[in-house]
């Protein structure tokens, strides 16, 4: 009997200890006041990058006791408000991430919990990239401030001016276009290189100015910042007195595998107005298929820096030719060509007569030129700011 009583008392003591231990664990468990939430511009996200607001991104907050995992990415781009009736329905499109070159960025943070609010700060390093962060969150919103230094590259911290305009030349526009020649007036056959250089150098587009003149009149300087931002000095109109400096977080870049990738923040850039004339939009459908991946993956640009510092940044055949092949049918439409010609003539002033004799044959020849293209480069020639 005494032996049985001893076993009974021992079982009771063990049971009480077990329940007490479980109770202590529950009491010690840290409960984060912010549940798993995906914050966006519309749901309480206030994101800054280099102390400037950044729109069009998402931050997923996943609490894990007194820690959390933050996943930063681009918010899907909705085009429903921008589409024309002739275009196919397009849902949310993937866009670039927060840090240039990273579709997603994951931060493992330690939380400081104060009532219904959590705060955190720290540094995250990855393959030479250094990111410092500071933020706080409640269930209704997240404030996150980021400062980033990208891995060293030959463009970071440099500023560039456009190469000066030259008489009857495309400069500062860089053009290489190798394709079959085409007939042009009484001058026999022309090649696209010569025709484009002459067209850019002669054809007035606005107020008697050519494309290179207008370009140099609105763009003064381009700077590649160490945080991955691309910043420009510009004018809205060549007649404006002062240069403006573009806001941060409109365009960013990263250099990898010998290419310059440029990322456009679609949420902070106004959409281009659609043409008012109803035309066959099937070519746009095909064009969009090639452009959409660049929203997330960046626009791949080739570049070369000469010994004198002169730099050429351009889109190459791999990027341009598929796009041109989608656009080519548009130039088989005589109505479209005539509309373009009338638009050019309206701005050509005293040189309007040259539009019909010089520019129209180029537009008519474009489908065959595109079909026979073996090499194409279109970009800008830049000189270092000294």
The 10 Å CB-count burial string (b at 16+, else e) for 261-275 is bbbbbbbeeeeeeee
Strands (E) located in 306-345: 311-315
Same domain, yes or no: 101 and 214: no
Same domain, yes or no: 162 and 142: no
Alpha-carbon span 376 to 320, nearest angstrom:
7
Q: Would 129 be classed as within a structural domain? A: yes
Cα radius of gyration rounded to whole Å, the chain? 29
Same domain, yes or no: 219 and 128: no
Q: Which residue has the tokens 């002459």?
A: 198
Q: Which two tokens stand for residue 65?
A: 């006791």
Same domain, yes or no: 187 and 86: no
pLDDT digit string (tens) for 186-196?
Answer: 667 888 888 88
What are the backbone angles phi and psi of residue 144, rounded to the nearest 5°? -135, 120
Q: Would 220 be classed as within a structural domain? A: yes
Same domain, yes or no: 333 and 380: yes
Same domain, yes or no: 59 and 96: yes
Q: What pLDDT shows up at residue 286? A: 56
Q: Residue 120, Cβ neighbours under 10 Å: how many?
A: 19
Range of the domain at 120: 37-149
Q: How many domains does the chain have?
A: 2
pLDDT digit string (tens) for 33-87?
Answer: 999 999 999 999 999 999 999 999 999 999 999 999 999 999 887 655 444 444 4
Q: Which of 223, 161, 216, 172 is nearest to 384 (CA)?
A: 161
Q: Which two tokens stand for residue 66?
A: 């007194």
Comparing 290 with 1, the larger pLDDT belongs to 290
Non-local (6+) Cβ contacts of 298 within 8 A are: 96, 100, 101, 253, 254, 261, 262, 263
Q: Would 177 be classed as within a structural domain? A: yes
pLDDT digit string (tens) for 75-124?
Answer: 887 655 444 444 444 556 778 899 999 999 999 999 999 999 999 999 99
Q: What pLDDT shows up at residue 357? A: 74
Q: What pLDDT shows up at residue 345? A: 76
pLDDT tops 80 at residue 207: no
pLDDT digit string (tens) for 264-320?
Answer: 887 766 433 333 344 444 545 555 566 667 778 888 999 999 888 899 999 999 999
Same domain, yes or no: 135 and 180: no
Same domain, yes or no: 96 and 166: no
Secondary structure class of 332 (helix, strand, coil): helix
Q: What pLDDT shows up at residue 273? A: 30
Q: Would 6 be classed as within a structural domain? A: no
- The domain boundary, picked from 128, 149, 170, lies at 149
The CA distances from residue 208 to 78, 180, 274, 343, 350, in Å, are 39, 31, 26, 13, 9
- The domain boundary, picked from 149, 167, 193, lies at 149
- Mean pLDDT, the chain, rounded, equals 82
Q: Would 4 be classed as within a structural domain? A: no
The 10 Å CB-count burial string (b at 16+, else e) for 194-230 is ebbbbbbbbbbbeeebbbbbbbbbbbbbbbbbebbbb
SS3 track for 204-219: CCECCECHHHHHHHHE
Q: Which of 195, 230, 196 is nearest to 211 (CA)?
A: 196
Same domain, yes or no: 103 and 64: yes
Q: Residue 162, Cβ neighbours under 10 Å: how many?
A: 19
Q: Which two tokens stand for residue 90?
A: 């397009």
Q: Would 59 be classed as within a structural domain? A: yes
Q: What is the percent of the chain with per-residue pLDDT over 90, rounded to a whole number?
A: 49
Q: Would 363 be classed as within a structural domain? A: yes
Q: What pLDDT shows up at residue 349? A: 67
Q: Which of 74-78, 126-130, 142-146, 176-180 has the highest mean pLDDT?
A: 142-146
Same domain, yes or no: 309 and 203: yes
Confidence of residue 335 (pLDDT cuts 50, 70, 90): confident
Alpha-carbon span 323 to 327, nearest angstrom:
6
Q: What pLDDT shows up at residue 285? A: 52
Same domain, yes or no: 322 and 217: yes
Q: Which two tokens stand for residue 134?
A: 């500071």
- The domain boundary, picked from 91, 120, 149, lies at 149
Distance of CA 82 to the CA centre of its chain: 18
Distance of CA 320 to the CA centre of its chain: 17
Q: What pLDDT shows up at residue 31? A: 86
Q: Would 255 be classed as within a structural domain? A: yes
What are the backbone angles phi and psi of residue 208, rounded to the nearest 5°? 75, 5
Q: What pLDDT shows up at residue 198? A: 78
Q: Which two tokens stand for residue 117?
A: 């609010």
Q: What pLDDT shows up at residue 72? A: 97
Same domain, yes or no: 272 and 366: yes
Alpha-carbon span 281 to 325, nearest angstrom:
15
pLDDT digit string (tens) for 4-21?
Answer: 544 454 554 445 444 444
Q: What pLDDT shows up at residue 318? A: 93
């Amino acid at each position: 009997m005494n032996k049985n009583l001893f076993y009974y008392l021992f079982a009771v003591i063990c049971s009480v200890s077990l329940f007490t231990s479980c109770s202590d664990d529950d009491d010690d468990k840290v409960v984060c006041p912010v549940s798993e939430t995906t914050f966006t511009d519309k749901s309480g996200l206030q994101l800054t990058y280099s102390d400037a607001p950044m729109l069009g991104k998402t931050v997923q907050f996943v609490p894990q006791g007194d820690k959390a995992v933050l996943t930063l990415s681009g918010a899907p781009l909705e085009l429903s408000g921008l589409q024309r009736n002739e275009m196919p329905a397009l849902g949310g499109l993937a866009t670039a991430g927060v840090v240039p070159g990273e579709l997603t960025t994951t931060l493992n943070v330690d939380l400081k919990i104060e009532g219904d609010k959590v705060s955190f700060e720290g540094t995250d390093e990855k393959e030479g990239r250094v990111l410092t962060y500071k933020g706080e969150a409640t269930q209704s919103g997240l404030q996150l401030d980021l400062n980033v230094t990208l891995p060293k590259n030959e463009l970071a911290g440099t500023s560039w001016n456009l190469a000066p305009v030259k008489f009857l030349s495309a400069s500062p526009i860089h053009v290489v276009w190798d394709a079959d020649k085409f007939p042009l007036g009484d001058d026999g056959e022309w090649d696209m290189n010569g025709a484009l250089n002459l067209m850019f150098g002669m054809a007035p587009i606005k107020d008697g100015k050519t494309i290179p003149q207008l370009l140099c009149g609105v763009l003064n300087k381009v700077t590649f910042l160490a945080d991955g931002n691309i910043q420009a000095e510009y004018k809205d109109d060549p007649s404006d007195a002062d240069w403006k400096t573009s806001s941060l977080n409109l365009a960013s870049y990263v250099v990898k595998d010998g290419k310059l990738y440029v990322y456009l923040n679609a949420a902070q850039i106004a959409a281009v107005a659609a043409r008012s004339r109803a035309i066959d939009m099937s070519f746009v459908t095909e064009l969009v298929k090639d452009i959409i991946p660049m929203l997330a993956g960046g626009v791949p640009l080739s570049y070369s820096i000469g010994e004198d510092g002169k730099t050429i940044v351009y889109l190459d055949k791999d990027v341009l030719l598929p796009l041109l092949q989608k656009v080519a049918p548009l130039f088989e439409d005589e109505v479209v060509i005539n509309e373009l010609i009338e638009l050019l003539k309206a701005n050509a002033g005293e040189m309007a007569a040259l539009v019909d004799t010089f520019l129209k044959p180029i537009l008519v020849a474009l489908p065959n030129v595109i079909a026979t293209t073996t090499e194409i480069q279109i970009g800008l020639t830049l000189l270092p700011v000294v």
